[in-house]
């Protein structure tokens, strides 16, 4: 009988759990499947009930549900109780048992890089579910702990819990301070960096040789790790911890040793697949995604930025942040001319940015000046889909001002833009690919480009100006 496992969280698209566990099942010839589900906070209860009812043998829990999931479980292991958080759930004949592998997974991952624990100082950035498990494990190793969090009260709450177990623990607000010079180990446990965004805290003052660990494993090198490396620290991303957590979850669910070599090999292969592109290509400073509405520019852009270890920006979202209006509201209140003006301002504000994946509005490049600005700054990739596929994807057209109206009008708009989209440096047909498939295709094409061959061509003037 086939067994089913899963991972739930939000965001979840970055998770490599399905790849890792599937490699393990394949190595042992097991009939099992591992799926991932995006579950928002208000869907968590229904997700727990549903997974139990459907007979899932177990599932992993990631951001932001590690603490909230406890309310929907029947039992906790001592590790979960100590951590105050759950990242692994076992369905034992309808009884849900919560476990935490964060602490043990972390210790196994960093043991080769730490010669001794007792009396050393560890700084933990964040006080969420993962931080709890790691802090508990380091406390048991006899380390002095400094816990810093954006909300100081939450850091102090965790510190009080650890002091009850005899730990030497300080807590405070996440801010620059003398703690850096005291650290033998710094552990970054927050989601910051998952999307490539800059780390909000400077690491100036950290001692050379300090071990800096970011439990995020994708992107492979977060802004936190990049700065730490530049300051002479030893660095480690979350991939090794992720591997050992997966093995521990396997053992908890199945009561048998995990096929660690097969799981490790799958992760290494995935890293090798994307790392050469992330480190060496593209040679242009940025990548801009253009194309008609509903070709996947935003979703592909976010995933591509993760793969390249770059940052992501959506020009429509930037306009909404500045104006306080949705795109649909801006069209309704101020008209298209105002929107086009805002698009141009966004491009100019980006200035001399480097290592960004830029998702543009569908009509941005029909403006000649915008085309010139993008061509100066980025390799331009056009995402294509036929009109029928676009209309199938869109659904509610109310949020797409220029898709309101009869098909003939939309088709004329789509057709008029193809000549402009066709001037891109690279064109990818998205019609039969999911988001991961589109990203893989882009990475494959980038890897073929020799150094210097990715200089963007000039996009010719002309074309109607519409979104």
- Select the more confidently predicted residue: 456 or 206: 206
Instruction: Walk me through the domains of the chain, giving residue ranges and CATH numbers.
Output: 3-99+242-269 (3.40.50.10860), 104-237 (3.40.50.720), 281-448 (3.40.50.300)
* pLDDT tens, position by position, 141-179: 999 999 999 999 999 999 998 998 888 999 999 887 788
Q: Which of 66, 90, 120, 218 is catalytic?
A: 66
* pLDDT tens, position by position, 90-129: 999 999 999 999 999 999 999 978 888 999 999 999 998 7
Calculate mean pLDDT across residues 282-306.
86
457 pLDDT more than 60:
no
Q: Is position 279 annotated as part of the catalytic site? A: no
Percent of the chain residues past pLDDT 70, beyond the cut: 89
Annotated binding site for NADP(+): 126-130, 149-154, 215, 238
Annotated binding site: 15-17, 62, 87, 102, 126-130, 149-154, 215, 217, 238, 245, 294-299, 316, 340, 362, 400, 417
130 pLDDT more than 90:
no
399 pLDDT more than 70:
no
Bridge partners (DSSP) of residue 8 are 37, 61
* pLDDT tens, position by position, 37-63: 999 999 999 999 999 999 999 999 998
Asked if 355 and 310 touch (Cβ cutoff 8 Å), the reply is yes
Provide the mean pLDDT of the chain: 86
* CA separation, residue 362 to residues 126, 379, 422, 457 (Å): 38, 17, 13, 19
Give the integer Cα–Cα distance in Å for 93 and 369. Answer: 64
Calculate mean pLDDT across residues 339-367.
82
Q: What is the pLDDT of residue 360?
A: 93
Annotated binding site for substrate: 316, 340, 362, 417
398 pLDDT more than 60:
no
27 pLDDT more than 80:
yes
* pLDDT tens, position by position, 234-283: 999 999 999 999 999 999 999 999 999 999 999 988 877 655 444 444 44
Give the integer Cα–Cα distance in Å for 464 and 213. Answer: 50
Give the integer Cα–Cα distance in Å for 391 and 387. Answer: 6
Q: How confident is the model at residue 395 (pLDDT cuts 50, 70, 90)?
A: low
Q: What is the pLDDT of residue 411?
A: 84
Other C-beta atoms lying within 10 Å of the C-beta of residue 324: 8
């Amino acid at each position: 009988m086939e067994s089913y496992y899963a991972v739930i969280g939000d965001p979840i698209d970055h998770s490599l759990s399905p790849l890792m566990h599937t490699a393990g099942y394949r190595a042992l010839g097991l009939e099992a499947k591992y799926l991932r589900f995006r579950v928002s906070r208000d869907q968590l209860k229904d997700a727990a009930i549903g997974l139990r009812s459907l007979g899932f043998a177990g599932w992993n829990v990631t951001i932001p549900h590690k603490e909230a999931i406890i309310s929907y479980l029947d039992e906790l292991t001592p590790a979960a109780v100590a951590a105050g958080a759950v990242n692994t759930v076992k369905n034992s004949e309808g009884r849900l048992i919560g476990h935490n592998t964060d602490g043990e997974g972390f210790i196994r991952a960093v043991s080769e890089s730490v010669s001794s624990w007792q009396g050393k100082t560890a700084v933990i950035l964040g006080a969420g579910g993962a931080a709890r498990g790691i802090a508990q494990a380091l406390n048991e190793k006899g380390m002095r702990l400094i816990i810093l969090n954006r909300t100081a009260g939450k850091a102090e709450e965790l510190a009080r819990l650890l002091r009850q177990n005899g730990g030497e623990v300080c807590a405070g607000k996440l801010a620059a301070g003398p703690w850096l010079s005291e650290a033998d180990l710094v552990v970054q446990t927050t989601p910051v960096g998952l999307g490539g965004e800059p780390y909000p805290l400077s690491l100036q003052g950290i001692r050379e040789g300090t071990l800096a660990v970011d439990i995020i494993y994708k992107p492979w090198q977060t802004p936190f790790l990049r700065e730490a490396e530049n300051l002479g620290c030893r660095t480690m991303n979350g991939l090794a911890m992720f591997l050992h957590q997966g093995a521990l979850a396997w053992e908890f669910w199945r009561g048998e040793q995990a096929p660690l070599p097969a799981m490790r090999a799958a992760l290494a292969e995935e890293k090798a697949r994307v790392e050469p592109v992330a480190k060496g290509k593209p040679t242009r400073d940025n990548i801009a995604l253009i194309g008609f509405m509903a070709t996947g520019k935003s979703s592909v852009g976010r995933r591509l930025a993760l793969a390249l270890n770059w940052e992501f920006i959506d020009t429509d979202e930037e306009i909404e942040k500045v104006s306080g209006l949705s795109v649909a509201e801006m069209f309704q209140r101020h008209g298209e001319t105002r929107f086009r003006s805002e698009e141009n301002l966004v491009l100019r504000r980006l200035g001399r940015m480097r290592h960004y994946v830029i998702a543009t509005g569908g009509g941005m490049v029909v403006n000649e000046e915008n085309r010139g600005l993008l061509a100066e700054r980025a390799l331009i990739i056009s995402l294509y889909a036929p009109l029928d596929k676009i209309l199938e994807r869109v659904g509610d057209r109310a949020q797409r001002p220029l898709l309101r109206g009869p098909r003939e009008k939309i088709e004329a708009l789509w057709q008029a833009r193809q000549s402009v989209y066709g001037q891109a440096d690279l064109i990818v047909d998205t019609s039969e690919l999911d988001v991961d498939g589109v990203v893989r295709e882009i990475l494959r094409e980038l890897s073929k480009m020799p150094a210097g061959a990715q200089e963007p061509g000039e996009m010719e003037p002309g074309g109607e100006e519409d979104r």
